[in-house]
Chains A and B, each alone.
Chain A
Amino acid sequence: MKKSTKLLVGLASMLSLSLLLSGCGSSSSKSTTIQFFSTKTENASTYKQLISQFEKKNPNIKVQLSSPSNAGTVLKSDLAKNSIPDVMAVGGDVNYQQVQKAGVLEDLSGESFTKTTMPEYQKMITSISKGNKLDAVPYATNASGIVYNKTLFAKAGITKTPTTWNELITDAKTLKAHGITPFEMPFQDSWTTMGVFNQLDSNMISSSWINKRLDNKTTFLSSHKGVMQKYLTLCKYAQSDYMGTSYNDGTKALAEGKAAMMINGNFVIPQAKQLKKNIKLDMFKMPVNNDSSKNKVTSGIDVAFAISKKSKVQAADKKFVKFLMSKKNSQLYNKQQFSFSAIKGVAQKDASLEGISSYLTSGNVVNYPDHYYPDGFDMTAVLTQTGVNQSKGMSDSKNITATLKKADKAFDSANVKD
């Protein structure tokens, strides 16, 4: 009896302590708090830095950053709860589309910070939005391509980056002959499969294809065999356990010089550099076709800011977004994240992106095909299955048919008209 009384007393005191502490947390309620949600995890450190500067300038505004690893689903469940964060940093993808479609975002087209952004990127946002409003302002853009290790290329005697598909495969063979793994593919994190697939697709399939597919006038099976053939060819030059490597471990392998290339976006570079500061990385345009003039850089909106219609602190929200979008801070973001800015006059000059920056400034880019997929269609699940099939030893032709049939089926079940 005594023992349990003691236990109860202990529990009660623990409780009052925790109440006290949680009370302390909320007692400074004079200040406004902005909930800032980000769908990316890798830029959290930059945001944190910017937030602390902002908080110093605006002592009565607190910014709470949240960047969960499964951001898309978390955001959707927030949406289902009807309680979305005040400010959201989303990519120009299906996550944005979902939130936008629900009509919970503030129209930002009239804001002063919107006017500083490039109209091409504003168009990218409106092209995937319902209605004609600008419900998110573009901030940073990304570029897909192939990130490569200059030192390893030199070691294998490759002096010029490939500009055609055949050259790419020849280089991969050369690297392999020198005992270097050509490609690091971190497909355990399924989203990385799109880094490869999107670039192949956007360079081989016309951009009007998706509309035909949405109207059920064409299929993956009838048009994407070539894309898949190239996809599987590339996988053959990947490290042995490419289905079991996570994005983090893959970037680490790239940073440690265990592989020469990674087919993904510019955002790989900061992460690799964080692990190994003096690694010599650059990017080149992925040479999908043998006619080099037809190869384009796939680029899309990496970060766009949106504000909730229901936010109780909208003035503070806008102040915060405006702060992030100032030239100075945008430059800082670019520098740390090796990204490209959607803000006029903010250029990316880092040597690691030399091979690709010019295409972005000239606007010679195509958007990511998967940004137009209906929500609920998960191409990454289809493509990881392809990888498993390949490692099981399934023949390419069988694998291609199986993959594309599966893609069509999944697409159809997600493609419901409302």
Chain B
Amino acid sequence: MKSRKKGKKIPLTYYMMVVPIGILFFIFHTVPFLRGVFYSFTNWTGYGSWKFVGLKNYLYMFGNSNITDAYWFTFKFALFATILVNAIALAIAIGLNSNIKFQSLLKAVYFVPYMLGSLIVGFVFKFIFSNLIPQFGHLIHLPILYNNILGTTHAWIGILIVTIWQGLAFNTLIYLAGLQSVDPEIYEAAALDGVGPWQKFRDITFPLIAPFFTINLVLSVKGYLMVFDQIMAMTNGGPGNSTTSISVEIYTQGFQGSQFAIQSANAVVLFIVVLVISLIQLRILNKREEKLS
């Protein structure tokens, strides 16, 4: 390798394989990003003249309860979704990795929700929540089920349920891949030493699948901070603004003239939040992996 390094120049063809698509990427991805950052410091409504307003949009954001509520909802949602999806997915993965019958069939079934678009899944669950469950509640006389959850303060739990239903598939698959990479002989040795199941999980399984845990956690948090489709399908952000996520807020308010620049600022803040959370996670989790190994 090294001897070649000082030798030949890189052929022009290779530049041609990267530069054109790189330029397109710059025009359609980086330029909009930079323009968004730029707009966030102006009062542009999407048309006509504009002027710089400094940090006014950012200050407005923190004073506007709709936007702060959207952040609060999104964080709460992402936290619960990440924890629940990962805990349940890990449990299912361990189950699927045990000595069970119909293993590959079950694995295939548990993965099905990943294939389905979340908009339609949202529509189906909206029907289940608003028509099926109340009907069932009246049948078994359980008052807690009488009301459509999407019309209550717990509407976010309805959205959480749908998200878990869909999100499990992917996370389970990744954990399963992790578990299958563990050599069963380690367990056999542990069994001889009389290690209990919880200890087995904590001391052997978990450290070995830690990298898979990292992947799942980072992807989950990033995905759930962007939650959009299910909400548009099920509640449109209501009742009140109780299920308006940051993405929904940007979409529904951003195209209104008076909020274009403000929502641009919102998008910039969202970007920073995602970046910081992802980096912190990677850092902490990588460190822990190092410690464990």
Residues on A facing B (Cβ under 8 Å): 70, 73, 76-77, 79-80, 98, 101-102, 187-188, 190, 240-246, 249, 374-376, 380-382, 384-385, 387-388, 391-392, 406, 409-410, 413-414, 416, 418
Which of B130, B153, B258 is A418 in contact with, Cβ under 8 Å?
Answer: B258
B104 lies within 8 A of chain A by Cβ: no
Binds A, one of B15-23, B213-221, B237-245: B237-245
B151/A187 in contact, CB under 8 A:
yes
Q: How far is the CB of A385 from chain B (nearest CB, A)?
A: 3
CB under 8 Å from chain A, chain B span 118-175: 129-131, 134, 146-153
B151/A382 in contact, CB under 8 A:
no
Q: How far is the CB of A149 from chain B (nearest CB, A)?
A: 22
B130/A188 in contact, CB under 8 A:
yes
**Bound-complex Cα distance A94 to B255 (A):** 14
B64 lies within 8 A of chain A by Cβ: yes
Q: How far is the CB of A348 from chain B (nearest CB, A)?
A: 32
B66 lies within 8 A of chain A by Cβ: yes
Contact A385:B239 (CB < 8 A) given known A376-B256, A416-B258? yes
Contact A190:B236 (CB < 8 A) given known A73-B252, A413-B64? yes
Residue of B65, B134, B242, B257 contacting most chain A CB atoms (<10 Å): B257
B251 lies within 8 A of chain A by Cβ: yes
Which residues of A have CB within 8 Å of B252?
Answer: 73
B256/A388 in contact, CB under 8 A:
no
A385/B147 in contact, CB under 8 A:
no
Which residues of B have CB within 8 Å of A70?
Answer: 232, 236
Which residues of B have CB within 8 Å of A245?
Answer: 130, 148, 151
Which residues of A have CB within 8 Å of B151?
Answer: 187-188, 241-245, 387-388, 391
A246/B240 in contact, CB under 8 A:
no
Residues on B facing A (Cβ under 8 Å): 45-47, 60, 64-66, 129-131, 134, 146-153, 232, 236-242, 251-253, 255-260
Q: How far is the CB of A383 from chain B (nearest CB, A)?
A: 9
Listed from nearest, the 9 A-B pairs whose CB atoms lie closest are A244-B148, A244-B151, A385-B240, A243-B151, A384-B239, A76-B255, A241-B147, A77-B255, A80-B255
User: Can you list 8 A-B contacts (CB < 8 A)?
Assistant: A73-B252, A98-B257, A101-B257, A241-B148, A244-B147, A376-B258, A384-B238, A388-B153
Which residues of B have CB within 8 Å of A76?
Answer: 255-256
B240/A388 in contact, CB under 8 A:
yes
Which residues of B have CB within 8 Å of A416?
Answer: 258
Which residues of A have CB within 8 Å of B47?
Answer: 102
**Bound-complex Cα distance A36 to B93 (A):** 51
A376/B148 in contact, CB under 8 A:
no
**Bound-complex Cα distance A332 to B235 (A):** 35
Which residues of B have CB within 8 Å of A102?
Answer: 47, 257
Residue of A80, A245, A392, A410 contacting most chain B CB atoms (<10 Å): A80
**Bound-complex Cα distance A101 to B48 (A):** 12
A188/B240 in contact, CB under 8 A:
no
**Bound-complex Cα distance A332 to B134 (A):** 39
Contact A246:B130 (CB < 8 A) given known A190-B239, A384-B240? yes
Contact A80:B260 (CB < 8 A) given known A188-B148, A243-B151, A388-B152? yes
B64/A382 in contact, CB under 8 A:
no
Which of B60, B130, B257 is A249 in contact with, Cβ under 8 Å?
Answer: B130
**Bound-complex Cα distance A241 to B240 (A):** 16
**Bound-complex Cα distance A375 to B260 (A):** 13
**Bound-complex Cα distance A152 to B240 (A):** 33
**Bound-complex Cα distance A81 to B46 (A):** 9
**Bound-complex Cα distance A260 to B33 (A):** 54
B258/A414 in contact, CB under 8 A:
yes
Which residues of A have CB within 8 Å of B130?
Answer: 188, 244-246, 249
Which of A98, A241, A384, A409 is B65 in contact with, Cβ under 8 Å?
Answer: A409
B258/A375 in contact, CB under 8 A:
yes
Which residues of B have CB within 8 Å of A406?
Answer: 65
B46/A80 in contact, CB under 8 A:
yes
Which residues of B have CB within 8 Å of A240?
Answer: 146-147
A73/B251 in contact, CB under 8 A:
yes
A244/B150 in contact, CB under 8 A:
yes
**Bound-complex Cα distance A55 to B153 (A):** 49
Which residues of B have CB within 8 Å of A392?
Answer: 153
Q: Of all chain B residues, which has the CB nearest A188? A: B151
**Bound-complex Cα distance A314 to B238 (A):** 39
A79-B255, A240-B147 known; 6 other A-B pairs, CB under 8 Å?
A: A73-B251, A79-B46, A376-B256, A380-B238, A392-B153, A413-B60
Which of B129, B238, B255 is A73 in contact with, Cβ under 8 Å?
Answer: B255
A244/B46 in contact, CB under 8 A:
no
Which residues of A have CB within 8 Å of B239?
Answer: 187-188, 190, 243, 384-385, 387-388
Which residues of A have CB within 8 Å of B64?
Answer: 413
**Bound-complex Cα distance A391 to B251 (A):** 29
**Bound-complex Cα distance A388 to B60 (A):** 27
Which residues of A have CB within 8 Å of B129?
Answer: 244
**Bound-complex Cα distance A101 to B151 (A):** 35
Contact A243:B147 (CB < 8 A) given known A190-B238, A381-B238? yes
